[in-house]
Amino acid sequence: MIGKYVNSYEVDEIIESGGMSTVYLGIHKDIGYKVAIKALNPLLQKKPNYIERFRNEALLLSQLKHPGILSFYDYIENKDGIFIITEYVKGQTLEEYIDQVSGPISETRSIKILLKILDAVEYMHFNNIIHRDIKPSNFMITSDNDIRIIDFGIAKSLDDTNHLLTKDGTKVGTTFYMSPQQVKGQVLDRRTDIYSLGVTLFQMVTGQYPYEKSTSEYEIYNKIVNDPLPSAKDFYTGVSQKMLDVISKATQKKPLDRYQSCDELRKDLSDKPETTEVQSTVSLKTRLIEAVDVDLNTRIFSKTFWQHLILLFATVGFLAAVVSGIYFLTKKDVRHVIEDKQLLLAGDSLNAEPIEVLNYGETVKVLNFSARPAKDGIYWIKVYSLRGNAGYVPKSSLEIPQIYRQINSVFGNTLAGTMVPSKYKRALRKFFIQNNMMSQNYTSWKLFAEPKKDFEYSTISEGDFNNNSIPDFACVISNIETNQYKLLIFFDNLTEYYSVDYKNTAVKIKKVEKDKNGGKWFMGETFKHRDEAGIFSEIQKFDYLLSEGLLLYNTDTKQNLLYLFNTYEKMFNVYVQPK
């Protein structure tokens, strides 16, 4: 589609791609006006139910005119496909904002965002439309901090009796955010969106999903139907009781126990807790005593006075400790964990007892630093975790929010952030900055990771490429705007790296073991062989590797390239492998 026209709009680039449709950036050929072009997957254009659903999305959007809802421009069916034309909204989704920028969003900002969302959803409900797929990735935060609902793919009019769109007993929605009634395939009303808004609020204030991503869909369905939504406070200790109550009521199992409308939810969110004045009951009286009236043998301060004074000092000391504790727990020094599955330890030693496991991207509050390295040579930081535990982590496993955002912008998916070791995360950030590949925490170059499987090509590999018994790191990054690929190899000393460009062709890599474990490979040497007829021919020689190598596979040419580091010349030799 890139370079083609949909009416007067040239298709410029892909914004987002999914199973049912792809969204492109369209630019008007005469005035340069930008729009979003949503194209139905060509494989689905012969299936009536998918075409009907796509038309339904266009129809519902055309009926909604609200500043918090994506503006509809046109619906087109022609020989090139089926398209919905809408306004182009520049920004990032609420999910991206949580994952890449904020982590847990402060309750004040969460309320402001949700109130804007409620305005749009309430307007939609007023027009007898339910969304059925409320979730953070379907809300766009614009560059001027407004909110838009951007996807109406499975929205439904309550007045519509078309059973092609959804049959009774059919599950629709995104698993984590589905109401019990959605899971059961029951008839839905506005209160299903209320439930999904409650789960969305949970994710906003905790920065996390209510269920582990590794949990099976069947298990999640069971939990949604039978168990209360997990407490947000178990995921982030800073969640207030008021917020817990709002989330709990919004996500009740029975629709009658939930908020019955967006307005009810809005009122509870907007209510401020009552404040009470505390009046002092202590009265201080002063008695002036003339010096001549004082009997030196008389005790001016009684035993009771001294007891009260001691009690006063003890109280002041206790309050000072409390204030000090509050200061440490609320101070601004917040860091992000950049080493996935980092252990929070009970002491400043690798041998200390583990308290909990910290995941990549989690925030922790710094309590104090170690000015000098411990006996094991590690600089330790004492921190307070999201789950309310205090413990120690290596300083190298944490980063300040600004640097974390830059690191995280490099990763095209969550898996990439979990697979790359922390020291190579920093190396990637440094490479991007030094080579002007990053601007204001954004880069079009991304590292997309794939599940790691033995003997298969991927985009990430670790190996001892320079043969010093310390693992090095290699990865393939791609430019989502220009279809370019780049191979990067970082050595363990972090002072050397190797980079090579591949234009308009996708490449993948894997490590090759040395010696017999890796098999024999062609490394440029040949020898002459004479056959029985006395004719000489050149034969390629295959040998075992003396150090670990990196095999690169070109998905277009189906060609394998073997990268071997020459420790004498300090460079990589590249050998094309016979097909």
Per-residue pLDDT tens digits for 63-90: 999 999 999 999 999 988 999 999 999 8
From 247, 270, 293, the end of a domain falls on: 270
Look at residue 294 and tell me if it is in a domain: no
pLDDT for the residue numbered 329: 46
Q: Are residues 416 and 374 in the same domain?
A: no
CA distance 140 to 149: 6
Q: Which residue has the tokens 């951007």?
A: 150
From 240, 270, 300, the end of a domain falls on: 270
Q: Provide the angle, in degrees to the nearest 10, between the axes of the packed helices 190-206 and 241-250.
A: 150
pLDDT for the residue numbered 274: 38
| Structure token pair of residue 441 | 């925490």
* 168 belongs to the catalytic site: no
Q: Are residues 176 and 259 in the same domain?
A: yes
Q: What is the DSSP letter of 42?
A: G
The answer to whether the beta carbons of residues 368 and 325 sit under 8 Å apart is no
Q: Are residues 14 and 148 in the same domain?
A: no
pLDDT for the residue numbered 440: 66
Which residue(s) pair with 551 in the sheet? 510, 562
CA distance 172 to 135: 13
The answer to whether the beta carbons of residues 265 and 250 sit under 8 Å apart is yes
What's the CATH code of the domain at 213?
Answer: 1.10.510.10
- Distances in Å between the Cα of 578 and the Cα atoms of 458, 508, 561 are 21, 17, 9
Q: Are residues 340 and 475 in the same domain?
A: no
What's the CATH code of the domain at 13?
Answer: 3.30.200.20
Give backbone dihedrals phi and psi of 120, rounded to 5 degrees, phi first: -70, -45
Q: Are residues 504 and 547 in the same domain?
A: yes
pLDDT for the residue numbered 225: 93
Q: Which residues of the chain have pLDDT under 50?
A: 163-165, 167-169, 273-301, 324-325, 327-331
Look at residue 286 and tell me if it is in a domain: no
pLDDT for the residue numbered 354: 94
pLDDT for the residue numbered 273: 45
CA distance 556 to 544: 27
Q: Which domain holds residue 221?
A: 91-270
The answer to whether the beta carbons of residues 150 and 134 sit under 8 Å apart is no
Please work out, in degrees rounded to the nearest 5, the angle formed at the alpha carbon of residue 113 by the alpha carbons of 94 and 173. Answer: 50
pLDDT for the residue numbered 213: 79
Look at residue 63 and tell me if it is in a domain: yes
Q: Are residues 373 and 444 in the same domain?
A: no
Nearest 10 degrees: Cα torsion 246, 248, 252, 258: -10
Catalytic one of 133, 193, 472, 492: 133
Q: Are residues 112 and 236 in the same domain?
A: yes
CA distance 129 to 159: 8
Look at residue 327 and tell me if it is in a domain: no
Q: Are residues 137 and 79 in the same domain?
A: no
Look at residue 119 and tell me if it is in a domain: yes
How buried is 497 (Cβ within 10 angstroms: 0-12 exposed, 13-18 middle, 19+ buried)? middle
Look at residue 98 and tell me if it is in a domain: yes
CA distance 82 to 98: 33
CA distance 475 to 499: 10
Q: Are residues 356 and 483 in the same domain?
A: no
Put simply, whether the predicted model's pTM sits higher than 0.75 gets the answer no
Q: Are residues 433 and 366 in the same domain?
A: no
CA distance 92 to 256: 35
What's the CATH code of the domain at 352?
Answer: 2.30.30.40
Q: Are residues 464 and 553 in the same domain?
A: yes
How buried is 186 (Cβ within 10 angstroms: 0-12 exposed, 13-18 middle, 19+ buried)? middle
Q: Are residues 514 and 411 in the same domain?
A: yes
Number of domains in the chain: 4
| Structure token pair of residue 133 | 């797929």
From 253, 270, 287, the end of a domain falls on: 270
Q: What is the DSSP letter of 161?
A: -
Q: How many other C-beta atoms are found inside a 10 Å radius of the C-beta of residue 153?
A: 18
Look at residue 306 and tell me if it is in a domain: no
pLDDT in tens, 268-300: 998 754 333 333 323 333 333 333 333 334 444
